[in-house]
Amino acid sequence: MKLEKPNFAAPVDAEKRKAIPPVICYPPETLEQPDLAALVTLRAGANKTAEAIAAPRDAACIDVPAGAFVRVLSVDGPQVGDLNMWNKHDLTERFYSGKTRALHGTHLSTGGRMWSSFPNMRPMATIVDDTLDWYGFDAFGGSVHDVIGTRCDPYTGRLLSGDDYHYCCHSNLTRALAGHCDLPLREAEMLVHDVLNVFMCTGFTRDTGQYFMKASPVRPGDYLEFYAEIDLIVGLSACPGGDCSSEHSSDVAACYPLVMEVYDPGEAARAAHVQPERSAYDRTHGAG
Ligand SMILES: [Zn+2]
């Protein structure tokens, strides 16, 4: 947020300085591109092998082996989901939404990759299908599947309203991961991280730069699908905000379940998958 009335007068060349065109921070041209055509072929021969349901105002976790696909599916009614990903064998390697945003922009779709936290920084998953890709950006600058929000949580709720609400995505994911990995709640909580907001329609207001949400265009049958680059645990919370047309962090909105489905192209195909290497940076950080 900026001051409505600035404290300092604009310099004489203010307009000239403001007119300088932007430069993309991280041009993606040097990134290795996924072979989407090969993944589509692989997907055509895959069979559904597992399913987990995130009940309304609750979350679920599911294992997805490297080389398999996972679909997040809308059922029953418009609903957004907060998605986390962990390396199944090292839960400290997790989805890094901020760096994914820096590399792929504010909202993801087919061909986008979900990058893992330092010091790993490798693609954990590749988005292979998105039935909402037609949405693009709307007149408000909004779009779906953002990596700009964090996750709804009881701490911000407490800060802004003074109330304790226990079914925010942060808490739902904490309970689900604790149950899935048999971890103490407090240990699981520290592993929950900022999310990919699946199906959520968000942006920044043009005049004040404030984070906004609006009713999601998702309808039952819509899905977002990923290819697992490494062995994953995927966590998904059916956000208490429902379709996020009004409010979250409460029991007010109509909420629906979300489904995760695993599609396996077979053991031989998975064995042929080459997992991305962790970053080759030597981690000496200039300390001699
Ligand atoms: Zn949420």
Number of residues in the chain:
288
Residues 6+ apart with CB under 8 A from 118: 96, 279
Ligand 1 centroid distance, CA of 101 (Å): 19
d(CA 180, CA 195): 18
Ligand 1 centroid distance, CA of 161 (Å): 16
Ligand 1 centroid distance, CA of 152 (Å): 4
Query: The dihedral of CA 31, 37, 38, 40: what is its sign?
Result: positive
Ligand 1 centroid distance, CA of 231 (Å): 25
The confidence score (pLDDT) of residue 185 equals 98
The confidence score (pLDDT) of residue 1 equals 84
Phi, psi of 186 (to 5 degrees): -70, -30
Beta strands in 177-222 (DSSP E): 196-204, 211-214
Model-level pTM?
0.94
The confidence score (pLDDT) of residue 12 equals 97
Ligand 1 centroid distance, CA of 237 (Å): 7
The confidence score (pLDDT) of residue 228 equals 98
The confidence score (pLDDT) of residue 65 equals 98
Ligand 1 centroid distance, CA of 269 (Å): 35
Cis peptide before 119 (omega within 30 of 0): yes
Q: Which residues of 113-125 are buried (b: 16+ CB within 10 A; e: fewer)?
A: bbbbbeebbbbbb
Q: Which residues pair with 53 in a beta bridge?
A: 259
Q: List per-residue pLDDT tens for the chain, 288 residues long.
A: 889 899 999 999 999 999 999 998 888 788 889 999 999 999 999 999 999 999 999 999 999 999 999 999 999 999 999 999 999 999 999 999 999 999 999 999 999 999 999 999 999 999 999 999 999 999 999 999 999 989 999 999 899 989 999 999 999 999 999 999 999 999 999 999 999 999 999 999 988 999 999 999 999 999 999 999 999 999 999 999 898 888 766 778 899 999 999 999 999 999 999 999 999 999 999 997
